[in-house]
Amino acid sequence: MIDIKELYIVNYCHPNCKPLQNIMRLPEKQAFEKAGELARKNPETNAFYRFADFENYYPRRLKADSIIYRLFIELGGKPKEKHPLSFALQNSRYLDNWFGNGIITRIPLKDIPDEYISFTYGDSSAMIEKTGNVKLITKQMLLDDILSFDGTIEEYLREAEKNYCYIEVQLWNDDVINAYIE
pLDDT digits (tens, 9 = 90+) for 110-143: 999 999 999 999 999 989 988 888 999 999 999 9
Q: What is the pLDDT of residue 182?
A: 60
In tens, the pLDDT along 64-94 reads 999 999 999 999 999 999 999 999 999 888 7
DSSP code per residue over the chain:
---GGG-EEEEEE-TTS-SS--GGGS-HHHHHHHHHHHHHH-TT-GGGHHHHTHHHHHHHHHHHHHHHHHHHHHTT---S-SSPEEEEES--HHHHHHTTT-EEEEEEGGGS-GGGEEEEES-HHHHHHHHS---EEEHHHHHHHHHHSSS-HHHHHHHHHHHHSSEEEEE--GGGGGGG--
Q: What is the pLDDT of residue 8?
A: 93
pLDDT over threshold 90, residue 62? yes
DSSP 60-105: HHHHHHHHHHHHHHHTT---S-SSPEEEEES--HHHHHHTTT-EEE
| Predicted TM-score (pTM) of this structure | 0.91
